[in-house]
Amino acid sequence: MKISLLGTLAAVTLALAQPASGHENQTPEHQKSENETPEWWYASGEREVARRREKLDAPQARNLILFIGDGMSVATVSAARILAGQQAGGSGEEYRLSFENFRHTALARTYNTDQQTPDSAGTMTAMATGVKSFGGAIAVDQRAVRGDCESMAGTERPSLIELAAAAGLTTGVVTTTRITHATPAALFAKSPERGWESDTAMPPSAREAGCRDIARQLVEFDLDGPIDVVLGGGRAAFVPTDVEDPEYPARNGQRSDGVNLIERWQQRYPDGYWAWNRQGFDAIEPGFEGPVLGLFEPSHMQYEHDRALDPGGEPSIAEMSIKALELLQARAESGYVLVVEGGRIDHAHHAGNAYRALTDTIAFADAVAAARARVDLDETLIVVTADHGHALHFSGYSQRGRPILGLAHGTGLAGGEPRVARDQDGKPYTTLSYINGPGFRPGPRPDYEDIDPHDPDFRQEALVGLASSTHSGEDVVVYAIGAGAEVLYGSIEQHLIFHALLQAQARISALADAIRNDAGLPDWQRLLARVRAQDSPD
């Protein structure tokens, strides 16, 4: 009996997914380290980066820029490179995205302390605080319990942005997602649950125990002042349910506590600047000296492909990066730290939509290029990486120069004219596909002969049917250039990225060392105590 390739692979995949009898949820003891404590994670990363810096005589940086392509797997970079090259008129394979020209590269292992395939909260906690943690963790270590407010006490970790602000550097956070989403949240908030973006999303027990939602923590951020520049989406989490959105009057806010956090931010920083649309963004002068808060959508910002159709208009990730740099550079007496996330790459992948994932990756690369052109690499370290991979697959023996979003075409082993590649049933397939996701179709494979896979709304075929395509557990590439970049090489644990950034900047590194040398309190409490003491009158 003939068995289709798809059916065979599906059966094998499902079989492999079943745990072996008697070994469910167990990690072999020889694969675990008894020393895997938060302190061990931090110290191991600290020691390894210090060793590399000493060996290479790595220079110090005044400024730090971290770019994160959320879900930007190796396959994503490869396919986006080809698409960008083809859009520029070439065959595509030889093209380079901006960060692919960076001299130093490494492979980062992305697993969480509890997940083989990670989530963005745990991975960003590793890069933001220098310790690996569990899936769902927002800058708390693995001792906390997901969703348990009271378990969080004493597990909070200071982030790179918080250390920078307390050390007197100017700081900025830019994202195309909600500003309260997992990746940006780990830079300014502490939470055992990434979903607690507004008070409405929190269980009553968490609110009663004293936990604060992520939006509130952003507004109440105060480490010698606020974050200087915050640009992204997600304004609904900041306003009450009875307040209409300025761009979409039919949509209201999300807060149940009746607090308008945007108004509270404006009251707290009367010298600040608030923007919600393109007009407001464009009006921000590069020399403006107050804090800036720009939230350009109620939820996530538009995909790059859809941005031009936004009713209120919104800036691109490159434009936000340039604006943030201009503002930070104008006031950075001691240097600055800027973190930029291209977050919607991940969302397009979850939707099984390679077109938007790749065009957002290209826009992300444009933002990196814009930043690179505006800094002095003798005093600036730029790191570009992903928080995790995705289930995008790139295969099919296509001839060079074939459209990356199209059907697979090949010449065959004997050469000859290019022809559409076909499966065992004679049906064509696309060069890009997903291992799992919403592109799955039950029954016989669809015939793509009369379907346009270049349509921006086309969902690539998936092997396993899921409502949302998953992350992948593969390593991600780290690209680095500038002062201190040489320490990022080889196969590294993801939390080393934090230590490479931290130790490259002397003021932040000195503060981190000082609070760790204090006794009696966790690092986060020591940092708060130092800042409060500095702000108190004699």
Instruction: Show which residues are catalytic.
Output: 120
Look up tokens 């920083």; give the residue. 269
Q: Contact, 487 vs 459, CB < 8 A?
A: no
The whole-angstrom separation of Cα 47 and Cα 400 is 45
Q: What are phi and psi of 141, to 5 degrees?
A: -90, 180
Q: Supply angle C-alpha 276, 165, 213, rounded to 5.
A: 55
Q: How far is CA 471 from CA 66, 69, 218, 300, in A?
A: 21, 13, 27, 19
Torsion, Cα of 22, 28, 33, 38 (10° steps): -40
Q: Are strands 273-275 and 292-295 parallel, antiparallel or unpaired?
A: parallel
DSSP of 386-406: -S-EESEEE-S-PPTTS-TTS
Rg over alpha carbons for the chain, rounded to the nearest Å, is: 24
Of 379, 318, 370, 365, give the one whose Cα is nearest residue 479. Answer: 365
Rounded-to-integer distance, Cα 214 and Cα 219, Å: 9
Which secondary structure element, helix H or strand E, spans residue 15, and what is its range? helix 5-17
Residues 470-480 as b/e (b if ≥16 CB within 10 A, e otherwise) read: bbbebbbbbbb
- Name the burial class of residue 333, with classes exposed (0-12), middle (13-18) and buried (19+) by CB atoms within 10 angstroms of its CB: exposed
Residue 179: CA atoms inside 13 Å, Cβ hemisphere, count? Answer: 29
> Within 10 Å of residue 74's Cβ, how many Cβ atoms?
17
Within 10 Å of residue 91's Cβ, how many Cβ atoms? 13
Of the candidates 173, 182, 63, 180, the residue with the CA atom closest to the CA atom of residue 119? 182
Nearest to 176 by CA among 347, 373, 293: 347
The answer to whether 215 and 197 have CB atoms below 8 angstroms apart is yes
